[in-house]
């Protein structure tokens, strides 16, 4: 759906195109509002667009230097974000759909650092290989309290703060049933994430290691809504942590991370690893997923 301003809207009001990113079998996905010509917009105007959409929104600006092809900025209704995976994938898909770019490799400037996008039969974007640190006992107990569970609901892996572009707190659940039964105390989520120095809780359950299937939920710190249907940056942090724990059978194939089932919007995020041919070691993450127009 393309949101076109009504006739009495001031000239220069941006056209916002809504797409769903990380869809599963043509449904689900995370909605994002995209503005492909955002060079004249102020930060306050971009935030107002996100507020009007009610979702993360991405803005395409001219490249700030000769070393890059674009600058992207990202907002949720309450603030600017350094990076948004699904808005980046969606924006590249939309630029190609609208004939503004062809297939190829594109260098993107973001507040979190440079991102490379690969556009062809699908869109993939790079993220750093993530790092993870265990959360201390007090932090773990606070997480259990906010999630309304005790330790018996957890799998035998650490609760971790994992990071690619942003820090997410990974909470290993014993099963998908335990995961989707969670009823967090959302009124306490922001203070908890501030205490953890995290941008959201990402509880997950490994479905099938050999098939590379995982399911997760995302409870953001302060985005203006309680849960995300698909979260690319959290998925790359999770994939990196699972790689470290030996739960990624084939790094070059990677993982399918399902999210949004509890919201009635099942989504599928794909994360694989670029592997150094000389050493066989993973170098960075590659994030991708299906994109659909919001009115399909």
User: What are 154-182's pLDDT values in tens digits?
Assistant: 999 999 999 998 899 999 999 999 999 99
CATH 3.10.310.10 domain locations along the chain? 2-103, 131-293
Q: Is the pLDDT of residue 1 over 60?
A: no
Looking at residue 6, its pLDDT comes to: 35
pLDDT tens digit sequence for 57-84: 999 999 999 999 999 999 998 899 999 9
Q: In which band, very low, low, confident or very high, does the pLDDT at 116 lie, cut at 50, 70 and 90?
A: very high
- Which pLDDT tens digit goes with each residue over 186-205? 999 999 999 999 999 999 99
Instruction: For domain 2-103, give its CATH number from 3.40.30.10, 3.10.310.10, 2.70.180.20, 3.30.70.260.
Output: 3.10.310.10
Identify the pLDDT of residue 13. 75
pLDDT the model gives residue 12: 62
pTM for this entry? 0.93
From first CA to last CA, the distance across the chain in angstroms is: 8
Class of domain 131-293: alpha beta
């Amino acid at each position: 759906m393309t949101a076109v301003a009504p006739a009495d809207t001031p000239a220069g009001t941006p056209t916002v195109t809504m797409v769903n990113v990380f869809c599963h079998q043509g449904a689900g996905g995370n909605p994002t509002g995209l503005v492909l010509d955002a060079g004249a917009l102020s930060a306050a105007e971009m935030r107002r667009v996100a507020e009007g959409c009610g979702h993360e929104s991405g803005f395409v600006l001219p490249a700030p230097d000769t070393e890059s092809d674009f600058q992207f900025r990202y907002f949720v209704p309450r603030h600017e974000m350094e990076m948004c995976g699904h808005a980046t994938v969606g924006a590249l898909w939309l630029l190609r759909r609208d004939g503004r770019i062809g297939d190829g490799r594109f260098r993107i400037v973001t507040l979190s650092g440079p991102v490379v996008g690969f556009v062809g039969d699908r869109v993939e974007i790079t993220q750093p290989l993530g790092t993870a640190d265990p959360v201390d006992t007090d932090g773990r107990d606070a997480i259990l309290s906010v999630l309304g569970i005790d330790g018996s609901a957890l799998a035998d892996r650490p609760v971790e703060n994992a990071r690619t572009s942003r820090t997410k707190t990974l909470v290993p659940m014993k099963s998908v049933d335990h995961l989707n039964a969670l009823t967090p105390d959302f009124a306490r989520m922001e203070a908890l994430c501030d205490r953890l120095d995290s941008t959201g809780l990402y509880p997950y359950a490994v479905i099938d290691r050999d098939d590379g299937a995982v399911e997760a939920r995302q409870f953001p710190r302060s985005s203006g809504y309680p849960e995300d249907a698909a979260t690319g940056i959290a998925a790359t942090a999770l994939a990196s942590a699972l790689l470290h724990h030996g739960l990624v059978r084939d790094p070059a194939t990677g993982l399918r991370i399902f999210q949004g089932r509890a919201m009635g919007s099942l989504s599928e995020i794909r994360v694989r690893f670029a592997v150094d041919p000389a050493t066989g070691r993973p170098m960075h993450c590659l994030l991708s997923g299906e994109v659909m127009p919001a009115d399909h």
